[in-house]
Amino acid sequence: METNEKKPGATEAVGYMAGAGFGASRSVLGGKPISSSIIVLAAAILIVGGAHVQHDDTSLFVMAVGCGVGLAGLLGWLVSLKEK
């Protein structure tokens, strides 16, 4: 018995990533202030963790991701405070 499993193509993968990104950004921007502060805390942990990585490129990447997550968390925090 053969199974005809269809492997996802590049377009389908991009669609999944776009949907996940949209959902994540909506939850960050539409969340409560406490959840936004948890996201900012996670970003701070990423930035501090990036300082302890020995490889320069990896350290830069981890810190850049931490900065991006921190900015998204701060923006979500500001938006959620204005809604209240």
Q: What is the pLDDT of residues 4-54, one digit of tens each?
A: 666 656 666 666 666 666 666 666 566 677 777 888 888 888 888 888 888
Distance of CA 64 to the CA centre of its chain: 12
Structural contact between residues 50 and 62, judged by C-beta atoms closer than 8 angstroms: yes
pTM exceeds cut of 0.75: no
Query: What backbone phi and psi angles, to 5 degrees, belong to 52?
Result: -100, 0
Which residues lie closer than 8 Å to 76 by C-beta, 6 or more apart? 28, 29, 30, 31, 35, 36, 39
Here the tokens at position 54 are 């020995």
Tell me which DSSP letter residue 54 carries.
S
